[in-house]
Amino acid sequence: MASLSPLTLDALDPVLRQVLSDNREKALSWIRREPGAWGFLAGQGVVATRRHLGRQLSGPERRMVWSRLWWWLEQLKLRLQESPGT
């Protein structure tokens, strides 16, 4: 049986940055704590990662996607809070 390519942060980060770039309004909705924003982004993160890897994700890999996506969202939120005019 062929081994699966491992999911690493180096492979995951560009995928998640693209998800956030493609879904800026939902990212802002998450920052505003609007219902449904996290679920939408979490789903998009899993779909994009699955597409990138060309296979289904394991449970731990899905949790890795969600954890890293949350981290990226927190970084975005901090950056927006530090921006002039906020």
pLDDT per position as a tens digit, 9-23:
999 999 999 999 999
Does residue 33 register a pLDDT over 70?
A: yes
pLDDT tens digits, one per residue of 45-63: 999 999 999 999 999 999 9
> Is the residue at 2 inside a domain?
no
pLDDT of residue 43: 98
Residue 59 has φ and ψ, to the nearest 5°, of: -55, -50
Rounded Cα distance between 19 and 60, Å, is 20
> Is the residue at 4 inside a domain?
no
Does residue 1 register a pLDDT over 50?
A: no
Q: How many structural domains is the chain composed of?
A: 1
Cα Rg of the chain, angstroms: 14
pLDDT tens digits, one per residue of 71-86: 999 999 999 999 866 5
- Which domain covers residue 73, as residue numbers? 10-81
pLDDT of residue 37: 98
